[in-house]
Structure formats: structure tokens, C-alpha cells
């Protein structure tokens, strides 16, 4: 921890172009099954999933949100959340990286002009991955022909695996895009959390990093709804992974029925929030508000569900089920660390304020 990571910069073959939503789901299921095989070993030894993420890129899944006018597929948001859940069921850290990537691309779609969208969406189609990071406001200096960045960013998920970064600063609507390989930029592998140990969380150190004026955009508002929706997808994947592993061990907790209902309810909340977000992306006013609250409800429910489902491991821990070899506690650690990041109590209060005290289903 705390050392400067070497840039994982090697050429990838051209990514596959996925042609339909059915093909996207099939690819996600195939990859999730592959990711699951070594997910426990990666967690125990903190083996970063570079090759797995390259497989994800080559499959074409990372490009499915590129708009049709830029030669992409542009799947529905409900399906997008389900695809994130499928990948997260195989490996929660990889699912989280995919969620961050899609959220960053949505920010590009919403805020950038064609002169920036076209080259970056082209890179996304080629398999490049995107992530977001935040610097203090005084780290960014405006120049006559662009911006200069000096300083250290906050820790951000998926930065270790990203090819392109979207940089923001608190209190500013400025968003800067640049390559992670930019001169003067170092990536510090600083993550030491007890969960999500392989999600590529890192900090950036910028020393006179230059960006051109055409790489800066003004964002009216961040893409909050899509981030909440995809966050919920990762937590749903964790809950499904726990249930699947308990079923394989042929040991189910007394509360299994309630957990199964909770998982189905989470999937329904994700689907509803996704449909509302589809509407909000082509409308304004109340449609945006409804999408925001619906996505918040899905995130709060899925976060609680992941914790509750993972806690069932400790309720029935006996024999080798609670042993280090199975490493089932990683699901609770992953859910717990994500609940901390998602500020679960605040999400719950916001959802109750909109839907009432019985919103949880």
C-alpha cells in the first residue's frame, strides 16, 4: 500500500462489438462465471484483476452505453443495472469498476460537446476504460489554452484500471478529461480497506499535468441517478452471490425465504428506477426528480439487503462454511465497506421522505 503503481499500459486487441441486449446479457453471464472462479483467491491475496478487466473490455460490454449516434448500442438503464449485478455476483470489485466506468461515460454523454464525445466514445468502443477522481479546488489552475493540475486527489475507485479520467473539483461545475498516461501523473495504490480489496481504488498525484481547453466541460449537475442505480446493481450482485454460495454448500439460514424475497424486490426496484431514468434522460422537471428518488430507494434497499444477506453467513457458520478456505466473509466485508461509502442511513432517510415509511416493500 502507499506505493506508486506501475502503469498497466499494454496494447489490447480490438474489442468485440455487441449487437443486441440479449448478446450483452449472455456475455455478462459468461464473464461472471469466469470471474467467480478466482474471486476468493484474488480477495485473500489482493491480486488485482487486470486480466479480468481486459476480458471485460474485449467482450464489448464496457461499450454498451455508447450512444447510437457514435456507433454504440445504448442499452436501457434497467438492463444496464442488471448487467452490473450479474458481473458483481461473479466479483463485486469488478462489478464496481464497471459501474464507475458506465457512470463516467454517462457524464460524458450528458455534458460534453461532440468534439469531445466523438474521440472518447471511439476509445470506449475500442475497449478503453473510464473512471472519475476529485481534486481540491486550488489544485486546478486555469490557463489561456487549458488547465494545469497540481496536487493529490482523493481516493477513487477503479482509477488503477482506467485509461481515461474525468476530474472534478468540489464547488465547481468544471469537468476535465485526460488520459491516465498523461505526463506528470502518478497513480498511488493507497487502498487499505477490509472490503472491496481489488476494486482499483487509488489516489492521483499530479505535477504540472496539462489539459487542453477542448478537454474541459461544464457540468450542470453530476449524473447522480445513474451512479445510485449502478451502485444498487453491485449490492444486488453481492446478495445474489451469498445466496448462491450458501445454496451450493447446501446450508440455508432460517431467514432464507425473506432474503430471496428481498433479492426479487431489489431487482424490481432496479428495473423501475432504470425505466424512470430512461424517461428522465429525454425529459426534464419532475421526471428527473422521480428518477433520482427511485434510484436512491433502489440503492438504499440493495445496500441493506447485501448486508442482511451477507450477515446470514455468520448465523449459520459451522464446519467449513465459516472457514478461511471458503472465504465467505468477503461478501460481508464487501457489503460493509460499500455501505460506509454509500452513507446508508442518509439514503434510507431520503427514500422514506419520498416514498413513506413502508417503501422497503
Q: Verify that 111 and 228 share a domain, yes or no.
A: no
Q: Verify that 293 and 176 share a domain, yes or no.
A: no
Domain boundary pick from 168, 203, 218 = 218
Q: Quick one: average pLDDT of 182-203? A: 94
Task: List all residues 6 or more positions away from 130 whose beta carbon is below 8 Å from its beta carbon.
Answer: 100, 101, 104, 105, 108, 120, 124, 162, 163, 164, 165, 166
Q: Structural domain tally of the chain?
A: 2
pLDDT of res. 4: 37
Q: Verify that 233 and 345 share a domain, yes or no.
A: yes
pLDDT of res. 11: 67
Domain boundary pick from 218, 248, 265 = 218
pLDDT of res. 283: 83
Domain boundary pick from 218, 244, 277 = 218
DSSP-derived letter for residue 161 is G
Q: Verify that 144 and 79 share a domain, yes or no.
A: yes
Percent of the chain residues past pLDDT 70, beyond the cut:
88
pLDDT tens digits, 126-144: 999 999 999 998 999 999 9
Q: Half-sphere exposure of 154 toward its Cβ, with a 13 Å CA cutoff?
A: 13
> Where does 60-157 have alpha helices with state H?
77-90, 92-111, 114-125
pLDDT of residue 1 exceeding 80, the answer is no
CB-based contact 215:176 (threshold 8 Å): yes
CATH number of the domain within which 313 lies: 1.20.140.10
Cα separation, 246 vs 217, in Å, equals: 47
Buried-state track 38-58, b at ≥16 Cβ within 10 A, e below 16:
bbbebbeeeebbeebbbbbbb
pLDDT of res. 324: 63
Q: In sequence order, what DSSP letters do the residues of 173-212 get, joined into one string?
A: -EEEEEETT-TTEEEEE----SSSTTS--BEEEEEEEEEE
**Residue whose C-alpha is closest to residue 209's, from 134, 291, 140, 309:** 140
Amino acid at each position: 500500500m502507499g506505493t506508486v503503481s506501475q502503469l498497466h499500459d499494454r496494447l489490447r486487441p480490438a474489442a468485440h462489438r455487441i449487437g443486441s441486449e440479449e448478446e450483452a446479457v449472455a456475455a455478462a453471464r459468461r464473464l461472471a462465471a469466469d470471474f467467480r472462479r478466482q474471486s476468493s483467491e484474488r480477495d485473500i491475496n489482493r491480486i488485482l484483476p487486470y486480466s479480468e478487466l481486459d476480458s471485460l473490455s474485449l467482450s464489448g460490454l464496457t461499450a454498451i452505453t455508447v450512444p447510437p449516434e457514435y456507433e454504440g448500442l445504448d442499452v436501457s438503464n434497467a438492463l444496464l443495472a442488471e448487467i452490473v449485478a450479474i458481473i458483481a455476483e461473479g466479483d463485486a470489485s469488478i462489478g464496481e469498476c464497471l459501474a464507475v466506468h458506465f457512470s463516467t461515460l454517462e457524464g460524458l454523454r450528458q455534458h460534453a460537446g461532440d468534439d469531445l464525445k466523438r474521440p472518447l466514445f471511439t476509445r470506449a468502443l475500442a475497449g478503453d476504460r473510464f473512471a472519475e477522481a476529485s481534486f481540491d479546488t486550488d489544485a486546478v489552475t486555469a490557463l489561456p489554452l487549458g488547465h494545469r493540475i497540481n496536487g493529490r486527489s482523493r481516493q477513487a475507485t477503479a482509477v488503477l484500471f482506467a485509461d481515461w479520467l474525468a476530474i472534478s473539483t468540489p464547488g465547481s461545475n468544471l469537468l476535465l478529461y485526460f488520459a491516465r498516461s498523461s505526463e506528470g501523473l502518478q497513480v498511488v495504490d493507497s487502498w487499505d480497506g477490509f472490503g472491496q480489496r481489488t476494486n482499483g481504488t487509488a489516489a492521483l498525484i499530479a505535477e504540472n499535468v496539462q489539459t487542453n481547453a477542448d478537454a474541459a466541460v461544464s457540468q450542470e449537475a453530476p449524473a447522480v441517478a445513474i451512479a445510485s442505480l449502478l451502485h444498487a446493481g453491485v449490492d444486488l450482485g453481492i446478495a445474489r452471490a451469498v445466496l448462491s454460495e450458501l445454496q451450493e454448500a447446501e446450508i440455508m439460514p432460517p431467514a432464507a425465504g425473506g432474503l430471496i424475497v428481498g433479492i426479487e424486490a431489489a431487482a424490481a426496484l432496479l428495473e423501475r428506477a432504470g425505466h424512470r431514468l430512461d424517461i428522465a434522460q429525454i425529459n426534464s422537471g419532475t421526471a428527473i426528480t422521480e428518477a433520482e428518488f427511485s434510484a436512491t430507494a433502489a440503492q438504499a434497499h440493495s445496500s441493506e439487503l447485501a448486508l442482511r444477506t451477507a450477515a446470514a453467513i455468520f448465523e449459520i457458520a459451522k464446519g467449513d462454511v465459516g472457514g478461511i478456505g471458503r472465504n465467505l466473509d468477503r461478501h460481508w466485508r464487501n457489503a460493509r465497506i460499500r455501505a460506509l461509502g454509500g452513507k446508508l442511513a442518509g439514503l434510507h432517510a431520503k427514500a422514506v421522505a419520498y416514498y413513506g415509511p413502508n417503501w422497503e416493500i
